[in-house]
Structure 1
């Protein structure tokens, strides 16, 4: 008879072997229940944190003991000098001829100095009307019945006036609308209200049509950026779900905006729009490249990767998230992985700052002048910071040593792809 089948008030066996067997069975059952309780508690804590806790995964590193005194803090108080590139308009306050006379002797007083003060000011936008006049000239000596009009008459100026055919917006107003919508993230109806306060009434639908036409004008630039971002060693990609409503329909469907970012050699950011969640969009965008794509691996995009195709690079943020969850659950082994992740992030930040400084020095060096004169050298442009900068060289040996000790993570490509 097993220990789990006995009733609480049932008499216990009297022989020792049976009691020892029942004790072992009870200990096994107790250990199993404790493991299940710990697992359920971990899942409950994770669910409560996901529902009510903060979503930030930032970790506070432990304080490093040091004997050096911290550098003195910079005093940021006080007024900073105004930029020198701004236009200066002088407003001079002077005395009249009568005010210059001395009240004692009646003679004219001499100027002994002046006091000046500078202030920032802003001139509000001023709307103007561009009236384009195209004059036509015709030859009056030729016979209209013999010479065609295409040869007798010539009109000056381009065939299309303005950036949009038959549109009422000039290039400056169109650029302002595009900048306000996509750089300042101003909704179209708010932009229409801002223009209305200046005395110009433009419907929100008209502004939307202008933005759509502006996107058509920028299509050649988008295609050029597309061809330049594909040779990147690593292309970062991710998507965001957006609501899509078809014209004439009140219901919305879920569409996706895909973002693609090139590496340091091709620092371009491109977006692609798809109505579905399949691999058709990424396959179409990356159809002519064999570079490495760093993105989340979804089952719907598994046919995107393979031999002679795009190589898949694992996302370190998603991998780190698992260690954060393990650390929150009390697993002490995750601390080492989080420490290594913080070290890699610090090294990456140093590499980016070093690369920006080297690029700034390169832009101010004679290499730019040599390139403008036609004597461009391939070694003039700084290389990617991951292979040449001091931060990359300083941390490369440590990362390689740990990689040999722990092995290569599963799913991580051995090469970074061809350019």
Structure 2
């Protein structure tokens, strides 16, 4: 009898332990999902800057002491404030050309015709706009014949940007900038041109753009090679809507790679390049950066992981990961929005102090080793 009771108790104890483990696992899963929902709600409806009230965090949790500057450090000069009052009128740019219109006053009243002397003047500047206009450039090549030797001479034909296309490089550049920088569709540009009596179909513009892309492809490859020569580059991707041929639309991605270390003292010219893909996967940055050796500063997208370590052996590769403190801060702000965590609050405060120190000193270098020392890590 006692043996049966012991077996029953042991079985109930095992069931209770299993139930407690299940409850714990479900609780962790619920908390994880709540964090995801809070993050998605903040992305959709929250503030884009993700600024936190640092003073409030200091009052809620233990005061975080900022690192004391060394004795030999020179305090940063105060940031000069703009002389213009908030909401005041912005002065007109000085490099704009000026056209002066002289307004003479009417003659004196009462029939006085005496001499006048200017004592002062009032100047009112008004910003004007001269609409863009088209023009036709006529390349005239006279054919000449010599009376003595009877040779016929003529200048060679003008080299056009696109063969057999009667468009100058300025017009083609205008179309491309409007389409891919100002995001003006071909149809909208065609409508704008028709208002001034010029008819260029959008299909024609699209064909010109494809020809220009083929001609400029070597320049783009050389630009990307210049970017990959840098010791550190920035990488990111942005989604774009990709229209299909009768099967709806889907999401494509532009992969952006930037070289710009002027804030670190490197005065090499900055450069940026875009690569397009119909999907988002780690195979695309792996292809783009196959021959790159250096530091890559990017977000926490899992597709970049194969660039840093071998997926099978986990051995480090020639590309070193450089994280972003803005993305790291989001994890702590997600925690703070759900529950008051002293550790998360301290992390947000220290990251804010780090950003403030960089703004005061004008230092924007990605010196992650020094940053990690602030947090006590190696």
* TM-score, with structure 2 as normaliser: 0.69
In the other structure, the counterpart of 1:119 is: 126
Aligned length: 335
In the other structure, the counterpart of 1:208 is: 206
1:326 and 2:338 are equivalent in the alignment: no
Tell whether the 8 Å contact from 1:290 to 1:308 is kept in structure 2 after alignment.
no
Report which structure shows greater RCO (CA 8 Å, sep ≥6): 2
CA positional deviation for 1:290: 1.1
CA positional deviation for 1:259: 0.9
Mapped to 2, the partners of 1:223 and 1:140 lie a distance apart of 52
CA positional deviation for 1:280: 5.2
In the other structure, the counterpart of 2:50 is: 58
Q: For the structure 1 residues 29 and 349, does the alpha-carbon distance in structure 2 shift closer, same or farther, using more than 3 Å as the test?
A: same
Tell whether the 8 Å contact from 1:136 to 1:154 is kept in structure 2 after alignment.
yes
Tell whether the 8 Å contact from 1:232 to 1:262 is kept in structure 2 after alignment.
yes
Q: For the structure 1 residues 33 and 301, does the alpha-carbon distance in structure 2 shift closer, same or farther, using more than 3 Å as the test?
A: closer
In the other structure, the counterpart of 1:172 is: 170
Alignment of 1:13-412 (within 5 A): 35=24, 38-39=27-28, 41-50=30-39, 52-53=41-42, 54=45, 56=48, 58-63=50-55, 75-94=85-104, 100=107, 103=110, 107-113=113-119, 114-139=121-146, 152-161=151-160, 163-244=161-242, 250=247, 255-264=252-261, 265=266, 266=268, 267-275=270-278, 277=280, 281-295=284-298, 296=300, 298=302, 302=306, 305=309, 309-316=317-324, 317-330=326-339, 331-350=341-360, 354=362, 386=365, 399=371, 401-402=373-374, 405-407=376-378
CA positional deviation for 1:291: 1.1
Mapped to 2, the partners of 1:386 and 1:169 lie a distance apart of 45
Mapped to 1, the partners of 2:285 and 2:152 lie a distance apart of 52
Tell whether the 8 Å contact from 1:237 to 1:259 is kept in structure 2 after alignment.
yes
CA positional deviation for 1:127: 1.6
CA positional deviation for 1:177: 1.9
Secondary structure at 2:54's aligned position in 1?
Answer: coil
In the other structure, the counterpart of 2:72 is: none
Secondary structure at 2:273's aligned position in 1?
Answer: strand
In the other structure, the counterpart of 2:76 is: none
Tell whether the 8 Å contact from 1:189 to 1:204 is kept in structure 2 after alignment.
yes
Secondary structure at 1:260's aligned position in 2?
Answer: strand
Mapped to 1, the partners of 2:30 and 2:281 lie a distance apart of 37
Q: For the structure 1 residues 154 and 336, does the alpha-carbon distance in structure 2 shift closer, same or farther, using more than 3 Å as the test?
A: farther
Q: For the structure 1 residues 81 and 342, does the alpha-carbon distance in structure 2 shift closer, same or farther, using more than 3 Å as the test?
A: closer
Q: For the structure 1 residues 218 and 402, does the alpha-carbon distance in structure 2 shift closer, same or farther, using more than 3 Å as the test?
A: same
CA positional deviation for 1:166: 1.8
CA positional deviation for 1:217: 4.8
The CA RMSD measured in Å over matched residues stands at: 4.4
Gaps of 5+ in 2: 60-79
Tell whether the 8 Å contact from 1:57 to 1:324 is kept in structure 2 after alignment.
no
Q: For the structure 1 residues 101 and 24, does the alpha-carbon distance in structure 2 shift closer, same or farther, using more than 3 Å as the test?
A: closer
In the other structure, the counterpart of 1:68 is: none
Q: For the structure 1 residues 227 and 81, does the alpha-carbon distance in structure 2 shift closer, same or farther, using more than 3 Å as the test?
A: same
Larger Rg over CA atoms? 1
Mapped to 1, the partners of 2:304 and 2:108 lie a distance apart of 90
CA positional deviation for 1:52: 4.5
Tell whether the 8 Å contact from 2:281 to 2:303 is kept in structure 1 after alignment.
no
Tell whether the 8 Å contact from 1:102 to 1:109 is kept in structure 2 after alignment.
no
Q: For the structure 1 residues 51 and 214, does the alpha-carbon distance in structure 2 shift closer, same or farther, using more than 3 Å as the test?
A: same
Tell whether the 8 Å contact from 2:39 to 2:334 is kept in structure 1 after alignment.
no
Secondary structure at 1:406's aligned position in 2?
Answer: coil
Mapped to 2, the partners of 1:249 and 1:285 lie a distance apart of 30
Tell whether the 8 Å contact from 2:296 to 2:320 is kept in structure 1 after alignment.
yes
Mapped to 2, the partners of 1:396 and 1:254 lie a distance apart of 37
